[in-house]
Amino acid sequence: MIALEQATEHQGRARVALSAALEAGPSHAYLLRGPRGSGKRAVARAFAAEILAAAAAEPEDARRRALLDPSPHPDLVWLAPRGAQHLVEEVRERVIRASAYRPFEGGKRVFVVEAAEAMRDESQNALLKTLEEPPDFVHLILLSSEPEALLETVASRCQPVELAPYPAAVLEAELAGAGGEDEVAAAARLAGGDRERAELLLSARGREVRAEAERCVAAALAGEVAAAPWRALLDRAEAAGEDAEAATREALEAEAEAGLKRTARESGEEAKRAARRRRTEILELGLELCAIWLRDLAALASGAEEVAYNRDRLEQLRLQAAGLDPTRARGGAELVQETRRGFELNVSEELALEALFFRLERLFA
């Protein structure tokens, strides 16, 4: 169980729950819930490897093959969405129908569904019978960063396992060398325990988004929002969406060559969903960075510099915080978060951003 211990090194509750499950005999279905970047994939792979090893004639060999990514073990089926959503037919063929077949070797089969919230309602409903009455040799592991998007009937049929965000100190240690020491420390805190987001912040695109967010707040503080600084943030999000759409179309073309058929309309919709998802992700990141910057300003204005997240921008924060009312800075952060939540209502993003930064400008006038 060394691999499981390593995968759950910073997930004490998950380690206890899964170790106990292996000792008592694993249940037929689990739901691993936790934020992006919390290590759900590694935990699921290690747990699946232990299930397969326990039922194998040669446990060490079964475990070794199950831990490989991608895994050549015939009784480990790993399903990840190709684009924004899982394909209904893939869920039916690779999980629901395949679960009726006996193991190719050993005594167990494990099916892992990554990003389970990306299954359409049709797929989730079709999966219900498998969750309710699986063969004795089948174990299903669903992974989800947004478990509230799963149907209650699906979630309730799985044993929940909670994964916590990564501690900032752990992220900082693991990402050492990806940037300057102060920048890595800042990215680890700004990511809120999400390793994937921390890695994004240390990439060229992440650095650009962070810089645009800081320029937007600076413009509001200086009373210069008439220059529409938010448009650059929108442009960054749009470019990220276009890249995601192109990558998805390329992946779909490769699948078509491999024999997986889709209509042109289905392919187009899938690519556009991936573009919207990425665009929204980058835009929400930009707003979250604006809100954190304002909270850092409130901290410095209150004399609590040590709690600032933007550890590599302290000099800039000091200049902006000089003479600033911390109550106004905290109020500004709340306005930003209110705008971010409003995106869920399908409002015009550009108009929402324009309204936000003019409100911030008035707040700090």
Is 279 inside a domain boundary? yes
Count of the separate structural domains present in the chain: 2
Residue 229 and residue 155 share a domain:
no
Residue 322 and residue 247 share a domain:
yes
Structure tokens at 39: 């290590």
Which among 162, 193, 216 is the end of a domain?
Answer: 162
Residue 212 and residue 157 share a domain:
no
Residue 261 and residue 316 share a domain:
yes
Is 174 inside a domain boundary? no
Which among 162, 180, 214 is the end of a domain?
Answer: 162
Please give the pLDDT value at position 258.
65
CATH of the domain at 33: 3.40.50.300
Residue 224 and residue 133 share a domain:
no
Please give the pLDDT value at position 264.
80
Q: How far is CA 236 from the centre of its chain?
A: 19
Is 158 inside a domain boundary? yes
| DSSP codes, 58-71 | SHHHHHHHHHSSS-
Residue 212 and residue 358 share a domain:
yes
Is 176 inside a domain boundary? no
Is 282 inside a domain boundary? yes
User: Which residue is it, tokens 């969903």?
Assistant: 273
Reported pTM: 0.73
Task: Return the SS3 of 192.
Answer: coil
Is 65 inside a domain boundary? yes
Structure tokens at 43: 């935990």
Task: Return the SS3 of 105.
Answer: coil
Cα distances from 69 to residues 145, 248, 302, in angstroms, run 21, 21, 49
Q: Tell me how far apart the alpha carbons of residues 104 and 71 are, in angstroms, rounded to a whole number.
A: 14
Residue 360 and residue 225 share a domain:
yes
Please give the pLDDT value at position 60.
95
Residue 272 and residue 144 share a domain:
no
Domain holding 315, by residue range, is 203-364
Residues of the chain with pLDDT under 70: 82-84, 255, 258-262, 344, 346
Which residues on adjacent β-strands are paired with residue 142?
31, 113
Residue 327 and residue 236 share a domain:
yes
DSSP state of 167: P
Please give the pLDDT value at position 77.
95
Please give the pLDDT value at position 346.
65
Is 290 inside a domain boundary? yes
Residue 263 and residue 146 share a domain:
no
Structure tokens at 98: 């395949």
Question: How does pLDDT run across 66-125, given as a tens digit for each residue?
Answer: 999 889 999 999 998 866 678 788 899 999 999 999 999 999 999 999 999 989 899 999
- Is residue 343 within 8 Å of residue 308, measured between CB atoms? no
- Is residue 126 within 8 Å of residue 86, measured between CB atoms? no
- Is residue 120 within 8 Å of residue 149, measured between CB atoms? no
Residue 246 and residue 307 share a domain:
yes
Kindly state the greatest CA–CA separation across the chain.
Answer: 73
Which among 162, 189, 220 is the end of a domain?
Answer: 162
Q: Tell me how far apart the alpha carbons of residues 121 and 97 are, in angstroms, rounded to a whole number.
A: 18
Is 56 inside a domain boundary? yes
